[in-house]
């Protein structure tokens, strides 16, 4: 049984060194139950290396990662390529994660992929593939969903709906979300915490406080701070990521 008061995952003084170069140094933070955490930083700052370390795919040079007992993690990678000659449909691909897809129709409808089940993966658009990969990550009913740059291939309108959808999924699945992004132009106001990374943690906190942090301004500049939108999605209906309105 996952505790609702203890961290799901905690990184303690994580450092990762490749050859003679430190990619990450002194990384410490935790992810609490039902928390949405967004990791931002410039290209080459160590975001993907940190994700691999949290997932246990990479052993840290220093420090350690501790996880709650019985923690289930869903992971959506930054890149996923399909051999063009491989004839695999969305339905068959998702069955690799869950045998009984009939019980998952509400999830598929929420993600806007119900109509894609017979489509072969190589024929999906970038945005459609992102939604299918998210469904795959969610089929195991994870306590923690880790998304490595999930808005790739999605237009701005779709990005807004994706951020809002993640907020809904957090409550629907009672899970935490750790999301990685290098795009500073849109941060969901409903993100509980932003962590700014550049080999080390420069600053962290609520989005509005990070925007005014001297470490953030030194890294990204005043212009980036002014262009970063804190988007709040508040009205009496919502949309699926595919754009379908639901009352």
Tokens matching residue 86? 């491989």
Write down the pLDDT at residue 15: 97
Looking at the domain assignment, is residue 136 inside a domain? yes
User: What is the domain extent for residue 170?
Assistant: 33-44+71-242
Q: Is the pTM of this model over 0.85?
A: no
**CA distances (Å), 217 to each of 199, 203, 221, 226, in order?**
16, 10, 5, 10
Looking at the domain assignment, is residue 141 inside a domain? yes
Looking at the domain assignment, is residue 59 inside a domain? no
Looking at the domain assignment, is residue 61 inside a domain? no
CATH of the domain at 75: 3.40.50.300
Looking at the domain assignment, is residue 232 inside a domain? yes
Contact 151, 162 (CB under 8 A): yes
Each residue of 59-85: pLDDT tens digit? Answer: 999 999 999 999 999 999 877 877 877
The per-residue DSSP string of 37-105 comes to EEEE--TTSSHHHHHHHHHTSS--SEEEEEE-TT--EEEE-S-----TT---BHHHHHHTT-S-GGGGH
Looking at the domain assignment, is residue 53 inside a domain? no
Write down the pLDDT at residue 208: 78
Write down the pLDDT at residue 189: 63
Write down the pLDDT at residue 30: 96
As averages over each run of 10 residues, the pLDDT of the chain (247 residues) reads 84 95 96 92 89 95 95 88 85 92 90 94 85 90 90 68 78 88 64 91 86 79 60 46 45
**Strand 9-18 to strand 21-31: parallel, antiparallel, or no bridges (unpaired)?**
antiparallel
Looking at the domain assignment, is residue 8 inside a domain? no
Looking at the domain assignment, is residue 51 inside a domain? no
The phi-psi region of residue 19 (left if phi > 0; otherwise alpha if psi is between -120 and 50; otherwise beta) is left
Number of structural domains in the chain: 1
């Amino acid at each position: 049984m996952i505790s609702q008061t203890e961290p799901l995952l905690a990184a303690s003084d994580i450092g990762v060194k490749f050859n003679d170069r430190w990619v990450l140094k002194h990384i410490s933070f935790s992810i609490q139950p039902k928390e949405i955490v967004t990791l931002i930083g410039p290209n080459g700052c160590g975001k993907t290396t940190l994700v691999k370390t949290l997932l246990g795919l990479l052993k840290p040079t220093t420090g350690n990662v501790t996880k709650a007992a019985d923690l289930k993690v869903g992971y959506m990678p930054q890149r996923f390529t399909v051999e063009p000659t491989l004839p695999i449909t969305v339905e068959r691909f998702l069955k690799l994660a869950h045998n009984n897809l009939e019980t998952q129709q509400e999830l598929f409808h929420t993600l806007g992929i119900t109509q894609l089940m017979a489509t072969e993966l190589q024929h999906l658009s970038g945005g459609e593939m992102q939604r299918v990969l998210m469904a795959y990550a969610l089929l195991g009913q994870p306590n923690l969903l880790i998304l490595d740059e999930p808005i790739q291939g999605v237009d701005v309108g779709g990005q807004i709906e994706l951020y809002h959808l993640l907020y809904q999924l957090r409550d629907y699945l009672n899970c935490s979300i750790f999301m990685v992004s290098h795009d500073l132009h849109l941060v969901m106001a409903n993100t509980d915490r932003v962590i700014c990374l550049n080999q080390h943690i420069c600053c962290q906190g609520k989005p509005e406080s990070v925007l005014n942090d001297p470490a953030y301004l030194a890294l990204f500049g005043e212009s980036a701070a002014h262009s970063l939108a804190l988007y709040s999605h508040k009205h009496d209906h919502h949309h699926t990521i595919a754009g379908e309105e639901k009352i």
